């Protein structure tokens, strides 16, 4: 089993949840690019680009049909390394007519699992990713890259952001601090934004599950 057990199992249900939102392919591709940017900032998949999300999902779908399932591996990275091989019978033509959104959903799910495994267990990453999916217009690849940098360099600040986004804190000081960090992120990701607009965007990210 994955080292994170039930947490990873929960993340591996995100693909179906995302696909059920019936988002247009272009929006789904944007989410894939955003998640890939977040993963790269964590040091995951630095050799990949956003188009790899669809192939990653295709490989995962085909591998699971052949019994190459995540629960058979010690961690998400080992699973990904296995499905990226071709010797188990990957056929790039098999799912040629499958809805690209389904393949992208699965690829995003795999990438999210890798990110979750990289971060502390107490973080509500399933809630975090769901908030990103349902409010995807707020989370550009640039913003997600900056969020990934915070997660890499200051996990306590990232924890505050996750709690802020998912409505899991009512501590006013923590809310204010998370909003200030997000305001700074928005200014870095979007240099043309005014301080007021960046603050407004950060404020709109509070308790996205409400």
- For 86, 130, 162, 166, the CA distances from 207, given in Å and listed in that order, are 43, 12, 9, 5
What lies within 8 Å, CB to CB, of 81 at 6+ separation is none
Q: What is the mean pLDDT of residues 148-173?
A: 96
* Residue 4: band (very low, low, confident or very high) from pLDDT cuts 50, 70, 90: very low
Q: How many CB atoms lie within 10 A of CB 187?
A: 19
pLDDT per position as a tens digit, 121-145: 889 899 999 999 999 999 999 999 9
pLDDT, tens digit, 9 for 90 and up, residues 5-28: 445 556 767 888 888 888 999 999
Distance, CA of 6 to chain centre? 17
pTM exceeds 0.75 for this model: yes
Give the three-class secondary structure for 91.
coil
**Cβ neighbours for 43, distance < 8 A, ≥ 6 positions apart:** 118, 152
**Residues whose CB falls within 8 Å of the CB of residue 24, separated by 6 or more in sequence, listed in order:** none
């Amino acid at each position: 089993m994955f080292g994170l057990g039930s947490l990873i199992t929960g993340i591996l249900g995100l693909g179906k949840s995302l696909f059920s939102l019936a988002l247009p392919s272009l929006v789904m591709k944007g989410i894939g690019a955003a998640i890939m940017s977040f993963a790269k900032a964590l040091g995951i998949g630095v050799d990949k680009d956003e188009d790899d999300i669809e192939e990653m999902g295709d490989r995962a779908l085909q591998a699971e049909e052949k019994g190459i399932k995540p629960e058979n591996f010690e961690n998400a990275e080992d699973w990904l390394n296995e499905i990226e091989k071709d010797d188990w019978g990957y056929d790039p033509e098999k799912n040629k007519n499958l809805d690209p959104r389904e393949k992208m959903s699965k690829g995003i799910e795999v990438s999210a699992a890798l990110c979750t495994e990289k971060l502390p267990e107490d973080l509500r990453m399933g809630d975090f990713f769901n908030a990103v999916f349902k409010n995807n217009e707020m989370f550009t690849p640039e913003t997600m890259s900056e969020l990934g940098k915070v997660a890499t360099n200051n996990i306590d600040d990232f924890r505050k952001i996750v709690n802020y986004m998912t409505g899991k804190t009512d501590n006013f000081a923590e809310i204010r601090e998370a909003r200030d960090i997000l305001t700074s992120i928005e200014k870095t990701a979007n240099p043309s934004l005014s301080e007021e607009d960046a603050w407004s965007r950060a404020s709109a990210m509070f308790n996205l599950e409400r």
